[in-house]
Amino acid sequence: MKTLFLYDIDGTLLSTGGAGRGALNEAFELLHGVPRAFSKVHFGGRTDHGIVSQAYELAGLQQADGHREALIEAYLPRLQRRLDERRPEVLPGVRALLDATDRVGHNALLTGNMEAGAHRKLRAVELWERFQLGAYGDDSPRRNDLVPVAEERARRAGLEFTQTLVLGDTVHDVACARAGGAIAVAVCTGWSTAEDLRACGPDLLIEDLESGLEGLLALVRERAATG
Ligand SMILES: [Mg+2]
């Protein structure tokens, strides 16, 4: 009775202190001459695809063929430079939780980051190797599509599981768990307030991954038993 654990990245596993936003601002200015294009874009729980589309809209620019690819090409080395200058902060309890969930299931990613960005962020804190697979912002502009994408990849990789759990820091993570029929666990270390997270009715709300570890494992055992 194994569980497929789908981890969000920003605000859940780590905090990059705005490295993604800074790199996108710089890339956008390089391509279009518009400074701080992402300053008013809301990032939390969104996919990179959706974030980029909104920046074009706010800048009053038409997103043409090839713009997205050019932006990504400019973004990735700028993200890497920021990650090299300031190592992301791994949030409390992450490594112990990954050890624990690895024993009762499979660790995977479900993130709005494009895969290349996710790779760079997690590699910066030696966490990339802890995940067997992922569903990313490249897979769909809508986060709510991503649970089935991750489950299909897990099956194709030969992983067996009887339930799926999504762990994230925003109301969008909870919505995406619901859309995919997964268990929803929300953590208060990121973008949404505890009040907002509670209001969207996750199966479990935890302060951080350290204090929430036992409760999360108990929920997994309980759901596995009641199937
Ligand atoms: Mg997040």
Residue 157: CB atoms within 10 Å: 11
Give the distance (Å) from ligand 1 centre to CA of residue 191: 7
Task: Read off the pTM.
Answer: 0.95
User: From 3.40.190.10, 3.40.50.280, 3.40.50.1000, 3.40.190.150, which CATH number describes the 3-16+89-226 domain?
Assistant: 3.40.50.1000
Give the distance (Å) from ligand 1 centre to CA of residue 11: 5
Which position has the token pair 């949030």?
A: 91
Helix (H) or strand (E) holding 109: strand 105-110
Tell me how far apart the terminal alpha carbons of the chain are, to the nearest angstrom: 9
Q: Where are the domains of the chain?
A: 3-16+89-226, 19-85
pLDDT tens profile 183-201: 999 999 998 899 999 999 9
pLDDT exceeds 80 at position 154: yes
Give the distance (Å) from ligand 1 centre to CA of residue 184: 14
| Alpha-carbon gap, residue 191 to 78, rounded angstroms | 23
Residue 119's pLDDT band (cuts 50, 70, 90): very high
* DSSP sequence for 145-214: GHHHHHHHHHHHTT---SEEEEEESSHHHHHHHHHTT-EEEEESSSSS-HHHHHHT--SEEES-TTTTHH
Instruction: Give pLDDT, residue 49.
Output: 87
